[in-house]
Amino acid sequence: MRDEVLEFLRQNQGGFVSGQDMSDACHVSRTAIWKHIKALRQKGYKIESYTKRGYRLLEEPDLLSPLAMKQILDTDVFGKRYVYMDTTESTNLEARRLAQQGAEEGTVVVTEEQVAGRGRLSRGWYSPFGKGLWFSIILRPDFAPADAPKCTLMAAVALTKAFHKMGLVDAGIKWPNDILVNGRKLVGILTEMSGSMEEVSHIIMGIGVNVKTKQEELPEELKHIATSLLMEGVDIERTEAFKIILESLEHQYYEILDNGFEDTLNEWRQLSVTLGADIEVRAPGNTYEGVATDIDEDGNLLVRTPDGTIKRIVAGDVSIRSRQ
């Protein structure tokens, strides 16, 4: 009902629409219309009202509502089912619940705010209201479970290409799941698989993108390690950024389904800020220093240590010390 009221206002943008006309069309009372107008105002919509003239929409907030995205999103599968929430604990948790209930591939779960956003190793992810893109996508690929971790690399490639399209050409990938700009974190990716040794039931691809956050709004512990599109000079509406990102993710995903991972891994190499750098790797039970030389066909990081040994890193935290 609220979407119908909003659509009435949009269709008469710049002009007034009477409460009576809306109540007649929606088959509800004028009091109900007023309550929906009040709720829209609380969400940031600027709506004028005058006795005997009605309501006029002046300005819309930058919300990721289904109606706003439906008007601009050009995808075949991603976002055709679009689950939108003002706030949630974690979009990955919500997407997992939906996937277990049989939600179709390409289902997008997005929220304006996460109160318990998660990154790798169960770390928290700062997800304030209206400042970023906090979302998860349900995938049901027909490939081996061993290939599932490479979806993180696929997502990183798609996101980095999307940022380049927005004009942020300094964005690059840090293995395994971060996108950095000048050493600061712009994006985190958390990929979780459910299935057996033989087949993938579903993959939840969780992504957090800092879009509108300002330097002074970051928690103290993040001020020197995080960034946002706005902080990097890209002042873009979140809806437009989301459109570009979802379209890029869908294109890259169907590229790997149609042609395998080889081309995407080569793109990852080209977009990486890890390869060729002096790094420290904190892996389970060990810490290594060396030069990141490549990734293998499974997406694992290859590191040449000072004694010339090549270490294959399946999981771990990477700190980039310098570029060669």
Helix (H) or strand (E) run with residue 292 in it: strand 286-295
Tokens of 54: 């009605």
The H-assigned helical ranges of 193-316 are 238-259, 262-271
The answer to whether 2 is annotated as binding is no
120 carries a ligand binding annotation: yes
Taking the mean position of all CA atoms in its chain, how far away is CA 49?
A: 36
Alpha-carbon torsion, ordered 245, 250, 252, 257, to 10 deg: 160
90 annotated ligand-binding residue: yes
3: Cβ contacts below 8 Å, ≥ 6 apart? 65, 66, 67
Residue 118 counted as an annotated binding residue? yes
Task: Find, among 120, 217, 223, the residue nearest to 176 by Cα.
Answer: 120
Helix (H, G, I), strand (E, B) or coil at 70: helix
**Which candidate, 225, 245, 229, places its Cα nearest to that of 79?**
245
Rounded Cα distance, 27 and 20, in Å? 10
Is 75 annotated among the ligand-binding residues? no
If you search the block for the tokens 């998660």, which residue do you land on? Answer: 118
Of the candidates 322, 272, 321, which has an alpha carbon nearest to the alpha carbon of residue 295? 272
- Confirm if 46 and 59 have CB atoms less than 8 A apart: yes
CA-based nearest residue to 6, from 27, 37, 49: 37
Q: Is 102 annotated as a binding residue?
A: no
Binding residues, by number, are 90-92, 114, 118-120, 185
Binding residues for biotin, by number, are 90-92, 114, 118-120, 185
